[in-house]
Each structure stands twice: as structure tokens, then as C-alpha cells.
Amino acid sequence: EAGVAQSPRYKIIEKRQSVAFWCNPISGHATLYWYQQILGQGPKLLIQFQNNGVVDDSQLPKDRFSAERLKGVDSTLKIQPAKLEDSAVYLCASSLSTVAGELFFGEGSRLTVL
């Protein structure tokens, strides 16, 4: 079974530039999550989708971050304009059910903002 795919793995941009990350979840997983993991910290949920609807985006900085999940499969997370404090690993995860904790993570997209 293929895992959660993410791209790009690494991205370096200057502040105020924009960046987009892509995620393809495990086939059949209806729930998709984007997490932000800053160095030395645990992952923090940014947004959760159930199929193509948003379940929770309360911690998404909506002035600069946006995310969409078209057709209930792939998802894109965009940051525009980027700030220095956005430097982090952006993890995509998916799950088959909404049972707490049974998440399958991708390898992450590491963003460095200079």
C-alpha cells in the first residue's frame, strides 16, 4: 500500500514570497490533515478535511495560509506571503476513520524562509 505522498521535500524562499505544498493521501482515506512542525516542537494541526469539506481550520493563519482539497483526494497548502516564523516542516496526514490518533503521515515538506 502506497503511503502519503508529499512534494516538494525541501523549499527555500525569501520572506514575502509564496510557496505551495502538495499532498496525495493514502487511497480511500477520507480524512486529510495538514500539520506544522517547528524545530523542537510537536506537530500542530493547521487544517482538517473530511472528503473535500473543512472540519477544523481554527489554527490556520488565514491571512496568509490557505488550503484546498479538490475532489476529496489531493490537497494543496499555500503560504502567501511567507514570514520568517513559517520556517517549519509541513506534514500531511490521512486517516481511514476519525478514531483519534490513527494517522498516517507523509515525510513532510521542509520550508526555510530567509
Partner 1 sequence: QKEVEQDPGPLSVPEGAIVSLNCTYSNSAFQYFMWYRQYSRKGPELLMYTYSSGNKEDGRFTAQVDKSSKYISLFIRDSQPSDSATYLCAMSASTGANNLFFGTGTRLTVIP
Provide the total of helices (H) and of strands (E) in the chain, helices listed first.
0, 11
- Contact between 24 and partner 1 (CB under 8 A)? no
Closest C-alpha to 29, from 63, 67, 86, 74: 74
Stretch that binds partner 1, among 15-23, 71-79, 80-88, 99-107 (CB under 8 A): 99-107
Polymer length of the chain: 114
Decide if residue 44 touches partner 1 (CB under 8 A): yes
Q: Considering the complex, state which of residue 74 and residue 107 has its C-beta at the smaller distance from partner 1.
A: 107
Q: What burial letters (b/e) apply to 90-104, b meaning 16+ CB within 10 Å?
A: bbbbbbeeeeeeebb
Nearer to partner 1, 5 or 81 (CB): 5
Half-sphere exposure of 104 (CA within 13 A, CB side): 19
**Is 99 one of the binding residues for partner 1 (CB under 8 A)?**
yes
Question: Smallest distance from the beta carbon of 98 to partner 1, in angstroms?
Answer: 5
Contact yes or no for 52/71 (Cβ under 8 A): yes
> If binding is defined by CB under 8 A, does position 4 make contact with partner 1?
yes
Residue 36 near partner 1 by CB under 8 A = no
Asked whether position 26 contacts partner 1 by CB under 8 A, the answer is: no
| C-alpha cell, 30 | 477520507
Point out which span in 11-19, 40-48, 67-75, 76-84 binds partner 1 (CB under 8 A).
40-48
